[in-house]
Amino acid sequence: MLWLVDTADPTPMYLQVARVARQAWESGELRTGERLPPARELATSLGLNMHTVLRGYQELRDEGIVELRRGRGAVIRTDVDAAERLRPEVDDLISSAHRLGVAKDALIALIHDRYAEEAP
């Protein structure tokens, strides 16, 4: 996995670290039970302070994506609902529906109908 942060981005570095890991998890690049790089190693490779990386990992813990354990580091939780990966797309869909004036019931009906069409 490629970890990149952008010094020109006004987003704090710890949030960038969390964003990279979150996006990798959402895309399936990081799988449940998989360990994130040790904070010290990742900090060195990115040119960051170790505490910055740890703060990013704490953000992921607070979001319920990773579990932090002494001696084991940051691990993608095995009990995270797979549907949770869809949250960003669902958020985008809801925003689009609001912008287009689509009512909640109409959106739910559309999803229900489309899902039923795709079922095996």
Please indicate, yes or no, if residue 103 is contained in any of the structural domains. yes
Say if residue 71 is in the same domain as residue 91: no
pLDDT for res 69: 85
Query: Tell me, what DSSP letter sits at residue 35?
Result: B
Q: Are residues 53 and 109 in the same domain?
A: no
Q: Which domain holds residue 92?
A: 83-118
Which amino acid is it at 91?
A: D
Total number of domains constituting the chain = 2
Are 66 and 75 a contacting pair, CB within 8 Å? Answer: yes
112: enclosing H helix or E strand: helix 104-118
Whether 7 maps to a domain, the answer reads no
Q: Which parts of the chain sit beneath pLDDT 50?
A: none
What 8-state DSSP symbol labels residue 63?
T
Q: What is the pLDDT of residue 39?
A: 95
pLDDT at residue 119, rounded to an integer: 64
Q: Quick one: pLDDT at residue 120? A: 61
Q: Residue 43's pLDDT is what?
A: 96
pLDDT at residue 88 in the model: 79
pLDDT of the residue at 81: 67
